[in-house]
Amino acid sequence: MERFNYPGTIGLAPMAGISDRCFRIICRLWGAQFAFSEMISAESVILNVGVVDKMLPFEEENTAVQLYGSEPKKLALAARKVQHRASWIDLNAACPVKKVVRKNAGAALLKDLERLRDIVMAMKDACEKPITVKIRLGFEKNELEKIMDVLVPAGVDGVEVHGRTAVQMYSEKAQWDLDLERWNVPTAISGDLYTVYDIRKALEVSKASAALVARGALRKPWIFHEFFHAKAPAIEQIRDMFLLHVKLLKEHEGEKSFYKLRQFVAGYTHGLFGAREFREKFMKLEGFDAMESAIRDFFNQFLMNVGENIFVKEDGAKA
């Protein structure tokens, strides 16, 4: 197998409930060079639970499937089963949520490095695709060195590092100065990447080969565009991408999935004048048709007032 590397510098991070097929397509169109599925339990893959098929990438390039679990054999079997739908397989050793940790999965694996090693080795044995692992710095304290010294000899193909411990959850600032080059394995940095400046700074100080954007993409989905073009996209482009998101959701998930758009409206209207009132109205809408026409009305008002400033300052006044 050719040596793995993350297929680009900037990718969409795995986010349960967010990084579904539609949002992955949108972020890839904005410029994300790679993406991850939402985390999928190895158990549900093995049991053929219906929702799994919908969660797996469908003809998407450079998209990893992220699995979670605690049993080497089950993770190996699940990886083998889904590998034909994935560019590579990613193991979740980062999730700090109680429901996951209680089952010895996610970040709990950082407390049991022998198990983590056995899982990686079993997945590597079972699977023809590369195996990467997403970790935090440690469970209670920073044990990055110890963790990497287990993962690298186990044959991991890449490691994504969220620069916080599991007990920190999302509090305090993520750590970037990690000198990730030390281990001679491809790495990606994650944590607090909200602006192009953050991404560039995190890449520089972490010495990672790539960066994963998570909440930053939810807050401003065109962050990937800004990374490559050094400017915000035109208002028409934002409107058209929002409308495409509506169309994709309708096609892929059906009429009843309109509520999913509510979690993205803040992102698509980020920084725009009148966004707060629009969001309040949008959250009450029921159905794609009403949402689509509200989106057109909101964005078209800016297009009719060419030249007027449409962005706002933090205090809500026109910039």
Ligand X SMILES: Cc1cc2nc3c(=O)[nH]c(=O)nc-3n(C[C@H](O)[C@H](O)[C@H](O)COP(=O)(O)O)c2cc1C
Residue with tokens 């022998």: 114
Q: Which CB, 212 or 310, lies closer to ligand X?
A: 212
| Alpha carbon separation from 33 to 13, 15, 121, 211 (Å, rounded) | 11, 16, 28, 10
Are the C-beta atoms of residues 146 and 90 closer than 8 Å to each other?
no
Does position 38 interact with ligand X (CB under 6 A)? The reply is yes
Q: Does 39 interact with ligand X (rule: CB under 6 A)?
A: yes
* Shortest Cβ 249–ligand X spacing (Å): 18
Q: Which stretch binds ligand X (CB under 6 A): 10-18, 20-28, 112-120, 243-251?
A: 10-18
Q: Which of residues 208-237 bind ligand X (CB under 6 A)?
A: 214-216
**Which tokens sit at 208?**
């990672």
Residue span binding ligand X (CB under 6 A) among the ranges 91-99, 202-210, 239-247, 284-292 = 91-99
Told to check if 94 binds ligand X by CB under 6 A, we report yes
Site for ligand X contains 16 (CB under 6 A) = yes
Q: Which x/- pattern, by CB under 6 A, does the window 166-195 give for ligand X?
A: --------x---------------xxxx--
**Closest approach of Cβ 39 to ligand X, in Å?**
3
User: Sign (positive/negative) of CA torsion 144, 72, 118, 53?
Assistant: negative
**Choices 88-96, 122-130, 238-246, 278-286 (CB under 6 A): range interacting with ligand X:** 88-96
Least distance CB 261 / ligand X (angstroms): 16
SS3 sequence, 138-178?
Answer: CCCCCCHHHHHHHHHHHCCCEEEEECCCCCCCCCCCCCCCC
165 binds ligand X (CB under 6 A): no
Query: Is 240 among the residues that bind ligand X (CB under 6 A)?
Result: no
Taking residues 60 to 79 in sequence order and writing x for each that binds ligand X by CB under 6 A, - otherwise, the string is: ------x-------------
For ligand X, the binding residue among 10, 11, 13, 109 (CB under 6 A) is: 13
| CA distances in angstroms from 46 to 80, 102, 199, 296, listed in the order given | 10, 20, 37, 43
- Quick one: 186 or 216, whose CB is closer to ligand X? 216
Query: In the complex, what is the shortest distance from the CB of residue 248 to ligand X, in angstroms, rounded to a whole number?
Result: 19
Using alpha carbons, select from 14, 4, 9 the residue that is nearest to residue 35: 14
Q: Could you tell me which of 278, 194, 268 has the C-alpha nearest to residue 238?
A: 268
- Point out which span in 7-15, 179-187, 285-293, 299-307 binds ligand X (CB under 6 A): 7-15
Where does this chain bind ligand X (CB under 6 A)? 13-18, 38-39, 66, 92, 94-95, 134, 162, 174, 190-193, 214-216
